[in-house]
Structure 1
């Protein structure tokens, strides 16, 4: 594949593009036409290697036949069911298989349409849990500064980033805490001490707010918008102990880290810490349909069936557990389990990581966990991440860059020669932005 130099997308239909606010705010936004394997082609005929799996979604590539066939069969059989009156077999079986994939202690699943909805459902569920146990004042939710949890009002409220303040006040009762990575970056706390200090600060925050007022803490096990910040050893276990001590529910937002990305089905298993509620999405359908889920422990699920009524989590959304999305998810889960993908992920990670470290050299710090990679750049300035991502895009490689970092998440089906090509392009772009200082 030859490198491409991008020009403004003059191929956009002029009568349509002015009406679409889904287009990224860039004069290099692309109009995609087709995808095959891990390659995308735009309307100008240019081909790109996707090193981000769309955005942590297309784990099996853009033309995965088993998932496409499952969606086609479902479309022809039952495209929708009346959600007020029942459900469908694909949704029931997908829920069962997700529970089977999850850590021990997770016993139920609620299917939803996307990651933001999953996080919002988790917050509702946490508050409902405490109300059912006679603690209706437990409504506060802790989350990270500089974390990210979605684009709907509630999930955006949990997102502790200054760039969301333009929408005005967020959901009442949200309290932000500092993660270990921020302590290291902003206050020069040594990495070996940052986890213990961050956990202690969470406990002090719970105590200051009043444990009787705190429902849950929602956190990403690996923080995407900090350049894939991986927690220090023992940190998540400490947080689990603190939550248990104060009766606070622990919620993992695994929209990015779930479904095999860390090498295990979920990061909860990778780190050996089981939350009370697990939010999953993105790769769960392979990108073939909007789909996410809320997985929950037995003690949490029990509140949905109290008062002698059948278990339910209402109100719900019209398209939740949609048959087509559920069929895509079920096919993706079966493919992951039966296609040897945990081993394939391990093999690809073992090939990719050392080569990535060589390419980056002294120009940054590589953070790696399974097929999640972050590169914290040491040179190039505060906007080096954006400029590096743009330099890669000009050469035909898609990744994500922001501030002083870039992230990569190759598809599970990436071949060694494709991985090599990704890293060759990244190396050339690093030479441009950060200098040849390997």
Structure 2
């Protein structure tokens, strides 16, 4: 049964009350259940999840240790009055995240989602400079073609034309070109592009006035550029530039964090320590909305009290919720106890050469850990829409990936077996044959 037939047979007649995340189409799936890394729709059709939901379900859809932690917490304390105290799972999770992060990180603020963690980092950056007697340092630099979230502040950092329909963003945001864009749009050599992009950030800080710039926020791997991977040299230059001008460096690790790049965080993969890490998605394995902003000592100390405890408000009603925190604490424990860094390395070593063979010259592979992006060669009528066409062809064949513009991305769950990986690549190969034909 095709997805189109399944959808027409199982969707309710009236969908007018529900606002979809993306526009409804004949490809929209009504999911019903899941097991392992397989999803099932209401017509019984199954889909291999090659995207971990959206970089989230790294332990699959039936991870018993996390399920048990949530069930146990539900029985004991489903919610606590946030204006009057906190809960033990939140304390446990904060300590576990700090221990997982680079040594420079000393504190964690728990929030509900990635956008919220970005917003918290923006506020913390401005508060940091105000506390140190520099209230004019409020501007924040971010990359064109990056993505940082859907709330208004985080969306303002997203330098893409498709978000301008909401009108002007918050003031004080300045966009700069990432190395990948210099390579593609201006034909700059890769190594030169890395150096030039870093120099442009320094020039931008100088042009805006160092006394007005609070922070630089970047994704170490830019998802919406088809997983454009930064280099250690580029990120190290950013660290040096930020230190030179008294600017905070923030890594948006919503996608790259929690093992995706082969280390707990991309900061460790690239051996560059930012002042703040924004983390989310895989942090709870997808079992509860959860994210965090992780802070270095110099940032955390502005939040301290005479007793040494930290506080940062205003916050949100469900921040550090006991159920979400229990899910996150269980996920971090499982990450350690299950030796998942070793499993990630093994699966990535198996997948990458086979994925490269599957692509077979029809695009350029970007790979780091279990994050894969393919910049596709534009083909025929599809042109710049070839990524979406390949993703649709995969979905029709029972594989979930993401595709947009001229790229596709995959991010298999950490628990994916080699047999399941081979099945994913077989489907991807068929989809590429159908869309690209012989464009090799």
* Both structures adopt the same fold (TM-score exceeding 0.5): yes
Q: 1:231 Cα shift?
A: 1.2
**Match in the other structure for 1:348:** 347
1:256 correspondence with 2:258: no
DSSP-derived class of the 2:384 partner: coil
Aligned pairs (5 A) from 1:146-225: 146-225=145-224
Q: 1:378 Cα shift?
A: 1.2
Contact 1:119 1:279 (C-alpha < 8 Å) held by counterparts: yes
Q: 1:361 Cα shift?
A: 1.4
DSSP-derived class of the 1:382 partner: helix
DSSP-derived class of the 2:62 partner: coil
Q: 1:28 Cα shift?
A: 1.2
Report the Cα distance in structure 2 between the residues aligned to 1:369 and 1:359, rounded to whole angstroms.
Answer: 17
DSSP-derived class of the 1:41 partner: strand
1:236 correspondence with 2:235: yes
Structure 1 unaligned regions, length at least 5: none
Report the Cα distance in structure 2 between the residues aligned to 1:145 and 1:437, rounded to whole angstroms.
Answer: 30
Contact 1:4 1:396 (C-alpha < 8 Å) held by counterparts: no
Report the Cα distance in structure 2 between the residues aligned to 1:98 and 1:419, rounded to whole angstroms.
Answer: 29
Q: 1:54 Cα shift?
A: 0.1
Q: 1:310 Cα shift?
A: 4.7
DSSP-derived class of the 2:373 partner: strand
Structure 2 unaligned regions, length at least 5: none
Q: TM-score, normalised by structure 1?
A: 0.97
Per-residue CA deviations over 1:341-368 (Å, capped at 9, x if unaligned) read: 0000000000000000000011000000
**Match in the other structure for 1:19:** 17
Report the Cα distance in structure 1 between the residues aligned to 2:297 and 2:109, rounded to whole angstroms.
Answer: 13
Report the Cα distance in structure 2 between the residues aligned to 1:329 and 1:404, rounded to whole angstroms.
Answer: 35
Q: 1:202 to 1:23 in 2, by over 3 A?
A: closer
**Match in the other structure for 1:385:** 387
Report the Cα distance in structure 1 between the residues aligned to 2:89 and 2:332, rounded to whole angstroms.
Answer: 12
The range that moved more, 57-66 or 379-388, is 379-388
Q: 1:12 Cα shift?
A: 1.8
Contact 1:374 1:405 (C-alpha < 8 Å) held by counterparts: yes
Contact 2:4 2:26 (C-alpha < 8 Å) held by counterparts: no
**Match in the other structure for 2:283:** 284
Aligned pairs (5 A) from 1:35-434: 35-305=34-304, 310-380=309-379, 381-434=383-436
Contact 2:111 2:291 (C-alpha < 8 Å) held by counterparts: yes
Q: 1:379 Cα shift?
A: 3.1
Report the Cα distance in structure 2 between the residues aligned to 1:211 and 1:23, rounded to whole angstroms.
Answer: 39
**Match in the other structure for 2:438:** 436
Q: 1:192 Cα shift?
A: 1.5
DSSP-derived class of the 1:35 partner: strand
DSSP-derived class of the 1:250 partner: strand
Q: TM-score, normalised by structure 2?
A: 0.97
Contact 1:23 1:29 (C-alpha < 8 Å) held by counterparts: no
Q: Displaced runs of 4+ in structure 1, greater than 6 A?
A: none
Report the Cα distance in structure 2 between the residues aligned to 1:391 and 1:112, rounded to whole angstroms.
Answer: 36
Report the Cα distance in structure 2 between the residues aligned to 1:423 and 1:294, rounded to whole angstroms.
Answer: 35
Q: 1:160 to 1:23 in 2, by over 3 A?
A: closer
Contact 2:231 2:270 (C-alpha < 8 Å) held by counterparts: no
Q: 1:309 to 1:260 in 2, by over 3 A?
A: closer
Report the Cα distance in structure 1 between the residues aligned to 2:261 and 2:193, rounded to whole angstroms.
Answer: 22
Report the Cα distance in structure 1 between the residues aligned to 2:6 and 2:196, rounded to whole angstroms.
Answer: 48
DSSP-derived class of the 2:89 partner: helix
Q: 1:387 Cα shift?
A: 0.2
Alpha-carbon RMSD: 1.3
The range that moved more, 277-286 or 229-238, is 229-238
Report the Cα distance in structure 1 between the residues aligned to 2:206 and 2:182, rounded to whole angstroms.
Answer: 20
What number of residue pairs does the alignment pair up?
A: 435
Report the Cα distance in structure 1 between the residues aligned to 2:49 and 2:19, rounded to whole angstroms.
Answer: 23
The range that moved more, 375-384 or 300-309, is 300-309
Q: 1:360 to 1:117 in 2, by over 3 A?
A: same
Report the Cα distance in structure 2 between the residues aligned to 1:60 and 1:207, rounded to whole angstroms.
Answer: 45
Q: 1:364 to 1:195 in 2, by over 3 A?
A: same
